Structure 1
Amino acid sequence: MKTPHALQALIDDGVIDEVVRPLKSGKEAAVYVVRGGGEVRCAKVYKDMAQRSFQQRVQYQEGRKVRGSREARAIGKASRYGRKQQEDAWKHTEVDALYRLREAGVRVPEPHGFHHGVLVMEMVTDADGLAAPRLGEYAPTPEQARAFHAVLVRQVTRMLCCGLIHGDLSPYNVLVDADGPVLIDFPQVVSAAGNNAARTMLLRDVNNLTAYLGRWAPELLDTWYGEELWALFEAGALQPDTALTGSFAHDEHAADVGSVREAIEEARQEALIRQQGREAAAAEGR
């Protein structure tokens, strides 16, 4: 195939040897299968700001650190330099998160460097060595659904212990390799301690996964792992291997539990509707 312009510099520098094929293209980036150093890897090329459609970015960026005061002022003024700095920070956030999470034992692709604005990382494959499917394209058995859910809740737990929340976790940001679920796509990762919407995003992440896997294991829909995780985190009692129950005692005096349950159910129904829409769109495209 014709080498994309963004990847030619990596070939010129010897980072990769060739571009094999496109793998996927999303709202934030295009991912290519590449070959380098005798291994097949992925190269994530971020799209220009004008091409991207990701909304409510300000909400995700709250609590993120900026390298210096000049950069912070420029970003605040939304100058041309500030927008460039904001773009660079957006890309580096994913790179930094991958290295940090990989070191903490979270199941994420292994990063292999960030070159000329392109993230090179491990190619996640299935048992046959092919590109791993997304969880949203996978129809698990009830036993697999329960096992996947347990693995994913543990990964979310370890992320939270690192002070991070995915912020956009869904069945389409999870790959299923030979050993189970792998989390992907982290440019919008959220600071658990520095973002006012952190709790809401954590609950949404967990509920999205629960709603999907609950289609095969309905008992999962009666669990409250997101609320349990946040309560432990707030109390400073959460550890990477903390035993979780999925139970949560709501404070009847401090909150309207009926409204809480209704809001969570709405989030789950919304996740199911989005999933069904994607499946319908995919079916029409076949």
Structure 2
Amino acid sequence: MRTPASLLTLIEEGVIDEVLRPLKSGKEAAVYVVRSGDEVRCAKVYKDMAQRSFQKRVQYQEGRKSRGSREARAVASGSRYGRRQQEEEWKNTEVDALYQLRAAGVRVPEPHGFFHGVLVMELVTGPDGFSAPRLGEVELSAEQAREFHRVLVRDVVRMLCCGLIHGDLSAYNVLVGPDGPVIIDFPQVVNAAGNNAARTMLLRDVNNLTAALGRWAPELLDTWYGEEMWALFEAGRLQPDTPLTGKYTFDEREVDLDSVREAINDAREVALIRQQGREARDEDEY
């Protein structure tokens, strides 16, 4: 295993003691299992802008606040300094979100600090002590699916009450730990009040979860939690503990219900295709 230079720096500075193994590599970052004293954690090494394949960053960044007026002007100008500032803000976004969401009671990994572009955080494990599986990789009973859906919808509400939307939530950004689901991967987190696509992204997040868990509990497919919580949020009446029913009355003059249902079914099919692709990739690796 080739250890990234940034992790070697963390070892030299005593932040971590050892890199144990790679955990996963994605479009935004590579994650490694590391040892820090007696604790096993994970370290997320963000890829540089030139290495990343993630598209539509501008859409996600709309509405985010820069740390200062000079930085904001530089980002707007598109200068080299502005691009560096934009890159730093992109990397800091997940760190800031994790601290904020942990404080709000959302089930996310506990952050342990951000050093030289590396996020050190809790390693979420399964009942066997190994890295926890993703929600899209486990089989559930109908009862478990309903309970996981209840927990995740409540966490989405807590996020929205913090003014945040995950923006890329699916069964593959949720780990299944001993105490239930844990949401991960926040570099693309969306400003709910300042982003014109916020509602669309929220509905997509909730529909992705509903489609995935509806595979085990089909009655979930007849719920409309995303629409309900967004209506309450827009009206200024959404609180972290606001009771939700999953029911929503659409204005049928403006909404094509068949298209909405088709979008949920499409999300389910995409989730299954992603799972099959990952399984095929894992077979090739071994």
Identify the TM-score tier after normalising by the shorter chain.
over 0.9
Once residues 250 and 214 of structure 2 are traced to their aligned partners in structure 1, the CA distance between those partners, rounded to angstroms, is 22
Once residues 261 and 216 of structure 1 are traced to their aligned partners in structure 2, the CA distance between those partners, rounded to angstroms, is 17
Once residues 238 and 49 of structure 1 are traced to their aligned partners in structure 2, the CA distance between those partners, rounded to angstroms, is 36
Correspondence for 1:160? 160
- Is contact 2:145–2:217 with CA below 8 Å preserved after alignment? yes
**SS of residue in 2 equivalent to 1:148:** helix
Q: State yes or no: 1:189 paired with 2:189.
A: yes
- Residue 84 and residue 156 in structure 1: after superposition, are their counterparts in 2 closer, same or farther (change >3 A)? same
Once residues 108 and 233 of structure 1 are traced to their aligned partners in structure 2, the CA distance between those partners, rounded to angstroms, is 22
Correspondence for 1:207? 207
- Is contact 2:211–2:264 with CA below 8 Å preserved after alignment? no
Amino acid at match of 1:158: R
Matches within 5 A, 1:6-155: 6-155=6-155
- Is contact 1:211–1:272 with CA below 8 Å preserved after alignment? no
Once the two structures are superposed, what CA deviation does each residue of 1:219-267 show, in whole Å capped at 9, x if it has no partner?
1111111111111111111111111111111123443444444444444
What TM-score do you get using the length of structure 1 for normalisation? 0.94
What TM-score do you get using the length of structure 2 for normalisation? 0.94
Once the two structures are superposed, what CA deviation does each residue of 1:73-128 show, in whole Å capped at 9, x if it has no partner?
22223222111111100010000000000000000000000011110001111112
- Residue 142 and residue 260 in structure 1: after superposition, are their counterparts in 2 closer, same or farther (change >3 A)? closer
Q: How many residues align?
A: 286
Correspondence for 2:226? 226
Once residues 54 and 31 of structure 1 are traced to their aligned partners in structure 2, the CA distance between those partners, rounded to angstroms, is 16
Once residues 32 and 282 of structure 1 are traced to their aligned partners in structure 2, the CA distance between those partners, rounded to angstroms, is 17
Matches within 5 A, 1:234-273: 234-273=234-273
- Residue 24 and residue 270 in structure 1: after superposition, are their counterparts in 2 closer, same or farther (change >3 A)? closer
**SS of residue in 2 equivalent to 1:34:** strand
**SS of residue in 2 equivalent to 1:172:** coil
Q: How far does residue 147 in structure 1 lie from its aligned partner after superposition? A: 1.2
- Is contact 2:166–2:205 with CA below 8 Å preserved after alignment? yes
Correspondence for 1:216? 216
**SS of residue in 1 equivalent to 2:172:** helix
- Residue 260 and residue 2 in structure 1: after superposition, are their counterparts in 2 closer, same or farther (change >3 A)? closer
**Percentage of pairs with the same residue:** 77
**RMSD over aligned Cα, in angstroms?**
1.7
Once residues 212 and 150 of structure 2 are traced to their aligned partners in structure 1, the CA distance between those partners, rounded to angstroms, is 13
Once the two structures are superposed, what CA deviation does each residue of 1:8-58 show, in whole Å capped at 9, x if it has no partner?
111111111111111111111011111113211111000111111111000
- Residue 275 and residue 247 in structure 1: after superposition, are their counterparts in 2 closer, same or farther (change >3 A)? farther
Once residues 283 and 210 of structure 1 are traced to their aligned partners in structure 2, the CA distance between those partners, rounded to angstroms, is 28
User: Mind listing any 5+ residue stretches in structure 1 that lack a counterpart?
Assistant: none
